[in-house]
Structure 1
Amino acid sequence: MSIEVGSKLQGKVTGITNFGAFVELAEGSTGLVHISEVADNYVKDINEHLKVGDEVTVKVINVEKDGKIGLSIRKAKDQPQRERSPQRPRNNNRQSEFRPKENFEQKMARFLKDSEDRLSSLKRQTETKRGGRGARRG
């Protein structure tokens, strides 16, 4: 039985480190389950989830050219598909719905106008707080 990406296999935990657990698979090969692939929630201490000698079901997520095998326990669990409520497709650029297409010059002109309006508004607010333009203190 060859080890292929996507296949689910039975294995035995042979070693635990602070970054994951080594699992011995069929044919004597060994793969690594990274700590992020142990459970669906955050795993601070892997020893709370696994012990040496545990039998686990793992899913092969990658096989590198040098023979390293990446495994996942959380992806090996059969999880029911979450039903999503039907939604209209998302449009991240909502401005495009309201404005016709603009060329670069039009966008730049609009930007400059908006920028000047903001600056003049800011100047007006600052001058009234300081008592006008030519006022000197002291």
Structure 2
Amino acid sequence: MDYKIGQRVTGTVSGIQNYGVFVQLDSKTQGLVHISECKNGRIDNLPEEFHIGQPVEAIILDIDNYSKKISLSFRQLSIPKVHANPKPGENRNIYKHFWTATRVKAGFKPIAETIEASKSEALGRIRGNKK
């Protein structure tokens, strides 16, 4: 089968190591889900979360053209797709996270001049105050 990055695939868990889970996609193709892509949050013991023979669904993150190794993710299934130009009538209720202060218009001012406004905005977000 011809696989593509971003494709949603199904398979079965064929191996579990400390660093990730191997998934058999078809009779000739196997992919790896790194421990960081297994789920949101920390996983201390992969064998407690997964077992060999378990059917799973994943998304292809990367395909190494030279070695033909496939990187998979379970975690990406829970992240909604963000469309740059949604179609009319399409659900636009998609959460987009910004790591910078979006309401504080700092421009190219020194950090010392904008730090207080940025801190108060961040604390407001943490407390749930959406202004």
Q: Report the TM range for the smaller structure's normalisation.
A: 0.5 to 0.7
How far apart in 2 are the matches of 1:13 and 1:19?
A: 14
- The residue correspondences of 1:15-94 to structure 2 (distance < 5 A) are 15-26=15-26, 28-64=28-64, 65-77=66-78, 79=80, 81-82=94-95, 87-88=102-103, 91=106, 94=109
The TM-score with structure 2 as length reference comes to: 0.62
Percent identity between the two aligned chains:
28
Q: Unaligned stretches of 5+ in structure 1?
A: 99-138
1:48 alignment partner, SS class: helix
Distance 1:83 1:76, change over 3 A: closer
2:36 alignment partner, SS class: helix
The TM-score with structure 1 as length reference comes to: 0.60
Q: Deviations over 1:52-106 (max 9, x none)?
A: 01111110000012111100011123548326699436648532897xxxxxxxx
One-letter identity of the residue aligned with 1:11: G
Which structure's residues are more often helix, by fraction?
Answer: 1
Distance 1:76 1:27, change over 3 A: farther
How far apart in 1 are the matches of 2:105 and 2:47?
A: 42
How far apart in 1 are the matches of 2:79 and 2:110?
A: 41
Across the two proteins, how many residue pairs are aligned to each other?
98
How far apart in 2 are the matches of 1:42 and 1:92?
A: 37
1:47 alignment partner, SS class: helix
How far apart in 1 are the matches of 2:45 and 2:105?
A: 38
Distance 1:72 1:90, change over 3 A: farther
How far apart in 1 are the matches of 2:105 and 2:52?
A: 47
Give the number of the structure whose alpha-carbon radius of gyration is greater.
1
Does 2:14 match 1:14? Answer: yes
User: How big is the alpha-carbon RMSD for the aligned residues of Structure 1 and Structure 2?
Assistant: 3.0
